[in-house]
Amino acid sequence: MAASNPLQELQQLISATREQLTYLQELGVETIETAGTQPSVDSPSPAVSARAASRESVAAEPKPSEGRPPGGLFADLAPEVPTLTPSTETFEAIWAEVGDCTRCPLHAGRTNVVHTEGNRKARLMFIGEAPGADEDLQARPFVGKAGQLLTKIIESIGFRREEVMIGNVNRCRPPGNRPPTTEEAATCKPFLLREIAIVQPAVIVVLGNTAIKNLLETKEGVSKLRGNFQDYKGIKVMPTFHPAYLLRDPAKKRETWEDLKKVRDYLDQNPAR
């Protein structure tokens, strides 16, 4: 009986390694750096370990600006960068206010209101446009095929799904999975913004044109904005392609991987305070 345990552990290790390689291959990654040893099934992934090491090294270094007043003769005349005021609300209070919402026409065709979910102290948040058919049935965001790909994307940069926050601009499924109208998004978006104020993430990844245009209040689309950090009230925002779009055009997975590497590197270099 005892002799079979090492074999079982080896099989589990091979299975976990194959699964992780599949994640990376789906994102268009051709090469990965290794530390020379393969972690066990129960050990943190290389990305998680690297992230932790980076946090320790960065935390140990004093900030150049610490203990010094802002420089420049006219620094006090510079416009202030707007920042998001921390909120003392609770998610439960917001959801109670949403209730059995009938504020816009989308309520007529929905099965469930789909609320934001995840770690309420997350440093990383993902925002899409609206629920699809699977999400509408399960009352959870990103659980269909696009959601499964999003989970792989999250894991590819060293996080688990339960470590991040995931939501949508709209909480009801539009008919035929069409994008929400401007009016529909404007009706639902304030609830999402209040949730962001509670979480105070370090980075928000916005997925697809609808989410980008609504959160950033811009007319520019994902093709022009992706790959470069934007700003939402002092929070870093990385626009990138929606996983549903990646399922239709797998060639864009490589660009998405480049965007997410920047997110990973920023979080590694700016540990939580």
> In the predicted model, is pLDDT for residue 210 greater than 90?
yes
* pLDDT of the residue at 23: 62
Give the model's confidence band at 220: pLDDT under 50 very low, under 70 low, under 90 confident, else very high: very high
What mean pLDDT is predicted for residues 98-104?
98
Pick from 224, 273, 232, 226: which is nearest to 253 by CA? 226
pLDDT score at 72: 53
Question: What confidence score (pLDDT) does residue 42 get?
Answer: 44
Residues in the chain: 273
Would you say residue 224 has pLDDT above 80? yes
Cβ-based burial of 147 (10 A; exposed 0-12, middle 13-18, buried ≥19): buried
DSSP β-ladder status, 235-240 and 165-168: unpaired
- Looking at residue 35, what is its pLDDT? 39
The top-scoring range by mean pLDDT among 12-26, 125-139, 259-273 is 125-139
Q: What is the pLDDT of residue 8?
A: 74
Mean pLDDT of the 150-158 span: 97
Structural domains of the chain in order of their starting residue, each with its CATH number: 83-269 (3.40.470.10)
Query: Which one, of 95, 106, 98, 102, lies nearest residue 172 by Cα?
Result: 106
Does position 63 have pLDDT exceeding 50, yes or no? no
- Across the chain, what does the average pLDDT equal? 84
Looking at the predicted structure, is the pLDDT value of residue 68 above 50?
no
pLDDT in tens, 8-61: 777 777 776 776 676 666 666 655 544 344 444 344 445 555 554 444 444 444
Share of the chain above pLDDT 90, in %: 68
Tokens encoding 175: 């008919």
Determine which of 56-70, 71-85, 160-174, 224-238 has the lowest per-residue pLDDT on average.
Answer: 56-70
Percent of residues in the chain assigned helix, strand, coil, to nearest 5:
50, 10, 40
How many C-beta neighbours within 10 Å does residue 35 have?
Answer: 9
pLDDT tens, position by position, 159-205: 999 999 999 999 999 999 999 999 999 999 999 999 999 999 999 99
Closest CA to 24 of 265, 248, 263, 260: 260
Token pair of 186 as six digits: 């404007």
Q: Which helix (H) or strand (E) holds 232?
A: strand 230-232
> What local confidence, expressed as pLDDT, does residue 21 receive?
72
Compute the average pLDDT of residues 135-161. Answer: 97
Q: How far is residue 82 from each of residues 116, 137, 139, 193, measured CA to CA in Å?
A: 24, 38, 34, 15
The amino acid at residue 98 is V
More confident of the two residues 111 and 52: 111
What confidence score (pLDDT) does residue 55 get? 46
